[in-house]
Chain A
Amino acid sequence: MSVLASSLAEVLAVFVPIAPPADGPAVYRENCAACHGKEGHGDGPTAKELKYKPRDFREGKFAFGNTPGAMAKTVMSGIPGEETARMPAFKSVLEPADIDAVVAYVRTMMPVEPAPTATDMKMEPRDGALMVRGILAPLKEGDPPIPRGLLFGLPSGFSFEYATESLRLLAVRRGEFVTRSDWEERGGRPLTPLGSVVIAAAQPKEWAPFVLESGDGNGALRFAPLAAKLRSSSVAHGVVELDYDVGKNLHVRERPRDVVVSDGAGIVQELEFTPTRQQSILFSIALASDPSLPLPKSGEPSHEGALGQHASDQLEVARATGWYIVRSSPTATVAVRFDLPEKSGASVSARTMPEWDVIDVSLPLQDKPLTVRRTIVARSVTTIEQLEKMTKELK
């Protein structure tokens, strides 16, 4: 009995009221007390006439949600009823600040439950890599959220963001890892990645990371996006690994890791393609870019005069250095390179769109595994010589 009593006491000890904000009580008295009672016992003068009894806030029972957000929503929109509302809507009566204040005040009447602190909600990869799933807010305002987000955090301070429904790399960040803001309210809130974005992949609808290439019988090529399906994600032994199927006949094992060079940083993705039948696919990435910005040229600073056709310039730079360059802002550059097995028959090409550059690898897949390494580095590259230096550093 004593054990039971002490554990209950522990539980009950945390139900301590918090101090009300300044104007909450006044808003309450004017708008709520008539039904809910002066002290929130559900016993106001009009309560007895109501078919549905007002809440006694001491019980802490709120069928429409007991978080501050849910309670504010109830105050704003009311509770519908068969003929008249069970609780009127206060949206047009109260200012948002009044609603927040009255919610805060009502919360002092209910049993207060322990809420996780900001520190509790933070994840820090100290001993090894961590993975976290949750909704991700879009990197670019106006884009849809990513409900199936997957984040990897590394002890080095790098983190990688993926969308699992397409196995797209969304971003590389550097800094602290993530706050699990989905612990707030009822759930369903986006995670809050804490690092600053080093590399942002664009999310154009037209772009798919894996596309099937096939002939149309008349010598032209046809392209069909391939669905990717996650099979497993792992951080065993500190190694981040994603296993997924692409279409029906291809299995991919992807191992992303961070990379640091003297004046840049980013990600190396090692991808092992295991086809079960012969096929040709495009493996692509789209990076946000501003095509009006110039690409680097040998020996001269890049900001001196724009070059002509962006995509063909891309290829020119790539021929010289092996790097494709995406100018994302006047000061930042993203350099992408592919290390392909010899005689793989693979070819790389670049496409330029108004807001992003797409870099495709065409991979003719035989029936044996093939490994591709894609390096994406953000840095302030200015000349061809500097690109060549980076290549050496990476080796």
Chain B
Amino acid sequence: MVARAGSIAIAIVFAFAVGFASAASAQAAPVAADESDYYKVDFIPTPPGSVEVGGLDFLPDGRLVVSTRHGQVWIVSNPCAANPADAKLSLFAEGLYEGLGLAVVNGEICVLQRTELSRLKDTDGDGRCDTIETICDDWGVSGNYHEFAYGLPHDAAGNFYVSLNVGFLDPKWWHGKSLAPYRGWVVKVGADGKLTPFASGFRSPNGLCLGPDGDLFVTDNQGDWMPSCPLLHVKQGEFYGHPASLEWTDDYKKIGRKASDTEPPNRQRRAPAIWIPYGMSRSAGNPTFDPSGGKFGPFAGEMFIAELTNGCVMRADLEKVEGEWQGSVLQFRRGTGSANRIAFAPDGTLIVGLTNRGWGGAPPADGLARVKWTGRVPMEMDHVHLEQDGFLVSFTLPLAADCKPTAANVHLVEYDYNSWWDYGSPEVHVTSIDVAGVEVVAGRRALRVRAPTLKAGMCARLVFDGIVGENAATKTRDPLLHPQVDYTINRMPGMANAIPVAKTVEPPPSREDLEEGWVTLFDRRSIEGFEGEGWRRAAVHMDPNDPTKLADHPLVDDWDGMLVNSAGAHDTFTKLQHGDCDARIDFMVPKGSNSGVYFMGRYELQILDSFGKKEVDFGDCGGIYEGMDGDHGFPGSAPKANASNAPGEWQRFDVRFRAPRFDASGRKVANAKFEWVKLNGTLIQENVEVTRPTRGGLDGPEAAFGPLRLQGDHGPVAFKKVRLKRLDPLPTDAVAAKDAVGWTKIFDGKTIDGWKAGGHAKWVVEDGAIVGRGPAGHLFSPRDDYKDLEQRARVVINDAGNSGFYFRTQFADGFPPGYEAQVDSSHPDPQRTGSLYGMAKVTIPLVPPNVWFDYRVRCADEPAGTHIQIWVNGFEAVDFIDKERTYKSGHLALQQHNDGSEVKFKDIEVRELK
């Protein structure tokens, strides 16, 4: 679903871009204008490869101080000299452990090293630092390579603000980890050196600054849980989205809870003030405000942001909507090199500190660039103000007299993002917004763009076309230099609560979800795979007020449900029966609670809150419970180790189970057996034969098949995915030999010559499979006289696709008469794979889309009617008697249901029954 939305979004962007380009080329630009006409970039000569800038500030005498990732501090005299070669560097300190932040406080140089915040002193007056005072080193460093510390804004009270990168491990480096205290946090260091954890949820928060009114702004970098690079307004105690940092919050620490790599945390995320689109920023550096009062051109007091990958400086325009910052971001000046740190010199020169090593960035990769205003005012958007029904966009120059923009000169789209573990997110739900009108206002200094359908929870991208300003001073006509602005609408005016632009969505499927051979009995969407009183689909967590209970929290969407028992519930049973199987079961119990999983309804694998217990027996989590008839029964099997997670944490059973075996007379010849059980990845049971049903097992004699059963009457419990995979028969099983013979291939993997297509579907052979695409149609087998048979095939259906595996059917161009084993994992038609269409329904998706599965059908006339069975990956989904004997004989056929569906069949075989 996600991929579809994403690709549609991109298609719209492309179409839009093409449209814009043609519109622009139709209109001649009044004058050639380039960023360099307004802002010049030059470079101070620095030792090659050496000055990888991590911090910038100025001494009271105007000299520039630069800290670098090489752990050096350089002092630059004449940093703003007309000729950059007149700026001279001298080494003040070396041997520091990186220096990704620097501040001059009361004339003294403070440097943020990876491991400490330090004050550098030259006590013997030789111009070199000889004494390092440690201001604070109270944050953790595990030794992971990516544990950078970034800074270093400081406020009037002497507080410093420092942000701490999470660690990245190998091989799953895309899951950021908080391996030591306060990784993933912004911390405050008081003038006395005391550290206060300030705010959490950061990933790679490379840039910080304080605004003129003391607001703290931090940039983070796209990656896991950061769909794009955000500009965050950081407030004490708030959480900004990356879950790893939560491990240092009190409620996680109390129970030793670990942050999930893939599950969205159940915690209020504070929305960024601005999402910077990927096209503009891929690795953000620090923001800073222009304090020059006009020496840097028309943007006095506004925010600029450094950008490494694209090698530029961006501009942000913030406004308060209902008391909270939000706003827009624009391109400002390219060609600066990998801009990591920016700072304004007293004369209004913007100093740009470069670094690239390992982080990726446009060349030059190190050194110092300078951006100076030429004195000519560019035609730029100055402020972008959100109104109830559109934007009021003011410009730095008045519109030229002959510039008469209409709605056609404004292209407006909106988009939002996915918040998930994956690395970044595409812009999704990209939609064109109608511009109802454009009005020139404020003495030609602004445009009011009316777009009444704008809404919160989206970013709006405005692209102007054909806007020209008029500069009376230079007597030039200046086209709008940067026609694009992206505005993050957390709130529309008047809205109290923000709607986040990054939406919590279903985590992308893991590799495990895409493994073949499994059936999903609970997929978090529907509990219809189970039957039992008192169970519901809900989203729950351990109740913080009463940890012995589970408390509901709102379901985010349709994918995040859990199977939960209510008070007074009974046990619940799968509708499917299983025998030999692998099982993967995700469960969670609150403090002290008790539940269990009965394989075949009879053999219980115990679930209990056994967290922290030193000695465990069969009654503890992962124990196989004792038999029901005292001394004569099964004695139970204790887990080899206590591998329990804390109550409230999700846990996982991985099980390989063998059903009991019976001879032809029905006498049991082999006991049920747990070949192995793993709890949270730890092997806790191995080759345990269960001689008799365990206590509470189903009545009646042991059998070859039975339902999976979840205990619901002992205490609160929740389950996430419940999945089974049928095992191949043992070599000793009679069925194995019997099943292997008598099959006839009716498709050789190469040609469909002899098959007959009805309708308009396109059938082709690709990679040994028959592939159906296009409009509705059916492909009929060469033979039309099949009657009692078994048929099987390997099948895969795409997301939202629909197909069918027909038998006893007659040729037709429309939908043919005949029995249909449905193929459908996520089509709007709720009859899913495994259904006998229209006669016996399966309403849960046993197999996910885009994953090959084994499909098998048996159809035979019997005294009671036509007996039809359908198996999905070896599990019997339907066992149905058609008393009407609706269809007598005919072709076997494959369905292509509708345009957009794509189905593949291979290894199609038939075994006729005598």
Contacts and interface: CB of A to CB of B under 8 A. Distances in A.
A113 B365 contact: yes
Interface string A167-199: 000000000000010110111110000000000
A328 B720 CA distance: 57
A73 B141 contact: no
Given A7-B42, A132-B95, A232-B133, 9 more contacts: A11-B43, A63-B222, A66-B361, A113-B356, A114-B49, A123-B95, A133-B113, A183-B70, A230-B134
Given A113-B356, A144-B143, A183-B70, A82 B3 contact: yes
Interface in A231-269: 231-237
Interface of A: 3-4, 7-8, 10-12, 14-15, 51, 59-67, 70, 73, 76-77, 79-83, 86, 89, 91, 111, 113-116, 120, 123, 128, 130-135, 144-145, 147-148, 151, 164-165, 180, 182-183, 185-189, 229-237
Interface of B: 2-3, 6-7, 10, 40-43, 45, 48-50, 69-71, 83-85, 94-98, 113-116, 123-124, 130-134, 137, 141-148, 170-174, 222, 282-283, 309-310, 337, 356-367, 418, 420, 422-423, 426, 508-509, 850
Q: A11, A62, A77 — which one has the most chain B CB atoms within 10 A of its CB?
A: A11
B191 to A, nearest CB: 15
B132 A131 contact: yes
Contacts of B363: 11-12, 15, 60, 111, 113
The DSSP consensus for interface residues of chain B is loop
Given A11-B367, A77-B170, A116-B49, A65 B143 contact: no
A165 B95 CA distance: 18
Contact of A11 (B7, B364, B422): B364
A73 B40 CA distance: 38
A51 B357 contact: no
Nearest to A233: B132
A362 B706 CA distance: 72
A70 B359 CA distance: 9
B212 to A, nearest CB: 32
A128 B123 CA distance: 14
Contact of B48 (A77, A114, A132): A114
A94 to B, nearest CB: 14
A324 B166 CA distance: 45
B132 A234 contact: yes
A147 B173 contact: no
Given A3-B85, A114-B49, A133-B95, A145 B174 contact: no
A3 B84 contact: yes
Q: A61, A132, A183 — which one has the most chain B CB atoms within 10 A of its CB?
A: A61
B43 A120 contact: no
B285 to A, nearest CB: 14
Contact of B509 (A8, A67, A83): A83
Nearest to A232: B133
Contact of B42 (A3, A51, A67): A3
A260 B2 CA distance: 71
A232 B361 CA distance: 36
B336 to A, nearest CB: 12
Please name the 10 residue pairs, one residue from A and one from B, whose CB atoms are nearest each other, closest first: A188-B145, A186-B358, A114-B49, A132-B95, A234-B131, A133-B97, A82-B508, A147-B141, A236-B130, A114-B48
Nearest to A55: B360
B355 to A, nearest CB: 10
8 contacts: A11-B367, A70-B358, A82-B420, A115-B49, A130-B95, A186-B358, A230-B137, A234-B132
B71 A51 contact: no
Contact of B10 (A51, A83, A89, A233): A51
Nearest to A132: B95
Contacts of B2: 82-83
A111 B363 CA distance: 8
B71 A180 contact: yes
B206 to A, nearest CB: 13
A82 B359 contact: no
Nearest to A69: B358
B132 A61 contact: no
Contacts of B137: 148, 164-165, 229-230
A3 B113 CA distance: 35
Q: A63, A113, A145 — which one has the most chain B CB atoms within 10 A of its CB?
A: A63
B45 A10 contact: yes
Given A61-B282, A113-B365, A186 B131 contact: no
Given A65-B359, A232-B131, A182 B3 contact: no
A208 B3 CA distance: 56
Contacts of B95: 123, 130-133, 151, 180
Q: A3, A147, A188, A189 — which one has the most chain B CB atoms within 10 A of its CB?
A: A188
A231 B98 contact: no
A49 to B, nearest CB: 10
A77 B173 contact: yes
B182 to A, nearest CB: 14
A67 B94 contact: no
B49 A186 contact: no
Nearest to A14: B48
B145 A186 contact: yes
Contacts of B142: 147
B5 to A, nearest CB: 10
A80 B45 contact: no
Nearest to B130: A236
Contacts of B423: 79-81, 86
A390 to B, nearest CB: 33
A186 B41 CA distance: 27
Contact of A188 (B10, B131, B147, B850): B147
B171 A76 contact: yes
Contacts of B508: 80-83
A147 B143 contact: yes
Contacts of A147: 115, 141-143
A120 B366 CA distance: 16
Given A83-B508, A147-B143, A185 B358 contact: yes
Contacts of A77: 170-173
Contacts of B418: 82
Given A65-B358, A67-B357, A148-B115, A91 B124 contact: no
Nearest to B167: A188
A7 B7 contact: no
Contacts of B367: 11
A189 B366 CA distance: 20
A66 B113 CA distance: 23
Given A51-B7, A123-B94, A185-B145, A133 B71 contact: yes
B137 to A, nearest CB: 7
B428 to A, nearest CB: 10
Nearest to A68: B358
Nearest to B423: A80
Given A77-B171, A132-B95, A187-B98, A236 B360 contact: no
A10 B309 CA distance: 21
Nearest to B69: A187
Contacts of A236: 123-124, 130-131
Contact of B422 (A62, A66, A73, A80): A80
A47 to B, nearest CB: 14
Contacts of B146: 186, 188
Contact of B83 (A3, A83, A144, A235): A3
Contacts of B509: 83
Contacts of A59: 362
Nearest to B224: A80
A82 B147 contact: no
B360 A63 contact: yes
Q: B71, B148, B363 — which one has the most chain A CB atoms within 10 A of its CB?
A: B363
B309 A61 contact: yes
Q: A59, A76, A236 — which one has the most chain B CB atoms within 10 A of its CB?
A: A236
A101 B893 CA distance: 52
Given A113-B363, A148-B115, A188 B144 contact: yes
A61 B282 CA distance: 10
A128 B133 CA distance: 19
